[in-house]
Structure formats: structure tokens, C-alpha cells
Amino acid sequence: MNKKIWSAGLLAAVMLIGAGCGQKPGAAPNDTPEQITPAPDNQTGQDHSGTSNGSGGSSTGSGSEVTTPEAKTESIKAYYTDPDLMELVEGTAEITYKEDQEKYKAAYQALQKSDKGDMVPLWEKIGLNSLKFENGALTLDVTVPDEANLGAGGESFAIDAIKKTFFQFDEVKSLQILVDGQQTESLMGHVDLENPMTR
């Protein structure tokens, strides 16, 4: 009898020890996953993604604004003459530009062409060498070939046309026209030219 009791007690003890050992391996795997995915790895990932997204996003955004301004389209008034050079005719032109310097160049180009037969461009043959806008003063340097000479009436209309075209921009306070880099008393030799023209 005693052997049976001892055997049963020993078996129970072995089972208890086995059960205790069985819990420890079970507990160890529970601890192990926490150690496998430690917090420093997660923080590092967040730091990297946060840093790259934050700095990358802001620098990319500011860089794109500075380097590639959006193109603007604007409808402006442009001035021409009739086929008989009897009067100044107001027309409209669509110009596209990104910066102010381009706006004024586009406005000048609008004076050089017309797709309407009853609106003759007065500045068609007068080449633009350079253009500068600074502190409200717009300076145009042009070349006037002999074939651009329109006579007294045409010259007067040409000056009125360029004044009205550029003075529609509120920021332009004065307009200086140079011929081949030099101030001149007359654009084509018939009409006095102000140096500079003002509103």
C-alpha cells in the first residue's frame, strides 16, 4: 500500500513539476515577442519617416514654389490703327506670363501682331532689344529700321498705342523708350518723344 501511495504521490509531484515547467516555456514566448519587436525599432522607424516626410515635404514644396511659378493668362487692351492710318483702334489680346518682366514683353509682342484685318499693328517692324522694370519705371530698348517709319500720323499713333498699352498696368508709373540703347528726341523723326513718358 505504501508503495502505491508513494508512487501516486511521486506521479503527482512529477505532474506538478511538469505543469510548472510547462508554464515557464509558455511565459517565455510571451516575453520573447515583446523583445522581438522592441520600442527603439518602432521609434527609429517613426523618426526616419517623420524626418524625411517633414523635411522632404517642406523643402520640396518651397523649392517648387520658387523655381516654377504658375503661368498666368490675362486679357489686356492693345492698340492698333486702321488700314488707312486715320485713327487709333483699341483691341484685346490674351497674354501668358510667369513673371512681371514676361508680362511686359508679352504686352509688347501683342502690339506687334493682329489677327484682324481692320487692326494694323503699329509696332510690327520695331524690334525689342531689351526690357527692364524697376521701381515703377519701365524701360524699353528698341531698334527702328527704315521700313518701320510710318510718317508723322503713324508715329503719333504708335507712341499713343504704347503709352496706353503699358499704362493700363497700375504699377507702371513711367515709360522710357531708348533707340539702340540711347535716348532720342523722336522715335521716327517726326514727333517729339518724352524722356520718360509719364501718366
Write the pLDDT tens digit of every residue in 45-77: 444 444 444 444 444 445 555 567 799 999 999
Helices 151-166 and 100-111 cross at an angle (nearest 10°) of: 150
Give the start-to-end residue ranges of the domains of the chain. Answer: 2-67, 72-198
pTM for this one? 0.66
CB 99 within 8 A of CB 119: no
DSSP β-ladder status, 197-198 and 174-179:
antiparallel
Angstrom CA distances, 96 to 2, 32, 45, 109, 166, stand at: 109, 66, 46, 11, 16
Torsion-angle region of residue 85: left (phi > 0), alpha (psi -120 to 50) or beta?
Answer: left
Write the pLDDT tens digit of every residue in 152-193: 999 999 999 999 999 999 999 999 999 999 999 999 999 999
Residue 103, amino acid: K
